[in-house]
Structure 1
Amino acid sequence: MEINNQNTATSASQLPPPPFAVTGISLRDNQVVTNEDLKPIADSSSVETLRLNNIANISGECLANFSNSLNLRVVDCNGSGKVGDGLHYLAACERIDDLQLWGVALSLRDVIPVAHRKYKRINLGSTKVTDDWFPYFDEVDDLEVLVLRYANVSDDGLAHFRNCNSLRNLSVGGTKLTDAGLKHFQNCLQLEGTIISETSVSDASIEILSNFKNLKRMEIENTKITPAGVEKLRQALPQCDITWDGGTIKPSKP
């Protein structure tokens, strides 16, 4: 647990003298914890960060314990596949700006209660998200991280994010992305990392990619980008780590 946004406690003996506020909960990779174990911290209104990732034994019901955590900003349930049907318990938590749901079993009905938020980070990778979900996420212009890897989304759906010019990380590998779809992100000049591997992106996008001068990491393996295109990227982005079918090109020394 995080206490008063500062100290971390892993047992009751480490708790400070009252009064204190539990501001963060992290049970990452805990394969013992269950829904019942979370009941003692039910309605902790001070919780701002909730990390319940990669936990096999919890379901959506566990989120009922945080329905009154109105200060909640971070919800990280990556890898906890059964929590999706409990997102409606967080409907009143309007300050959430970081939603991490990689690999979670989801339906559109599950996400609608938490879609209308001013998000900075969204991870719906390896879920059943489709293009028609995106209009419900109607306040994403300040988005900094977007992860949709291995999701069944296309250029049409990705157009919803065309005004997200503050993006720093974009992961859309393993989607139906084409050169036309990548154009939606051409003004994202603050990008530092992108994954477009396993898509139909080709040499036609070299100019767009070359304009991302802040890129530090790029994954483009299993695309239609040719060795000649990769060489152009290497020259245009000498400080970028580029992973492609031929291996990894490390940044050149300053």
Structure 2
Amino acid sequence: MSAERYVALGSSMAAGPGIQPREARSPRAAGRSAANYPHLVARSLGLDLVDVTYSGATTAHVLIESQRGVPPQVDALDGTEALVTVTIGGNDAGYVPMLFAAGLPRFARSVPFVGARLRELLDPAARDRALAEVGESLVEVGRTLRRRAPHATVLFVDYLTLLPPPGVAAPPLREADVALGRRVAATLERLTADAAAQTGCGVVGAAEASREHHAWSGRPWTTRFGWPVPRRPAPLHPNAEGMRAVAEMVVAAGP
């Protein structure tokens, strides 16, 4: 008897760039780890995993757009799935790119061409405009997954908490930028929950569960700002412990 099918969709927060070992058959640009939460969930539940998570993915890459020649992620669904998970929306809102921009030296904001993009990422009004569009996109993701995988448990998995609470420093990020990051993260968490509720999907509250495990905590589930290092978890992304924690939550909520 063959195992039930599990399709995992989403961006780098699900793919797990830099967490060893890399999934050998995946495109290098995907940043897909063989120890990300989809792989851990599949092993725990004995499911047949199809992991199409891809670093840099947006809701459009889940729904309709090719990414680096790879078809839209929903094309992996064939209607026989027992479980579908999706972690998406942060790239639409510019969440982690904003935090990277915040960590760069301030003079970088004056560099021609690059500086304009950095200033846009750090502009609260621009982030609010991006977030205003994310909610509808997440609802469309939920509707599409429910339609394409009618027999599956469909779970939105929100983002692990990256930033500390107010009053706790997050060097080298400045407090004003951290406050903006918290606002973006809180809005993404709320929009994800709303989309799940509107579309009959479940939600795994990784953000809530990881409040005390932010990147500047004593036992972090995510990594701090820094420069990428080969074979190490990507900056401002989940680490191996964070992936294990999310996997346990998904298993608890799964089929």
Task: Give the TM-score of the pair, scaled to structure 2.
Answer: 0.25
Instruction: Give the structure with higher Rg (CA).
Output: 1
Task: Give the TM-score of the pair, scaled to structure 1.
Answer: 0.25
Q: Which has the higher strand share?
A: 1
Higher relative contact order (CA 8 A, sep 6+): 2
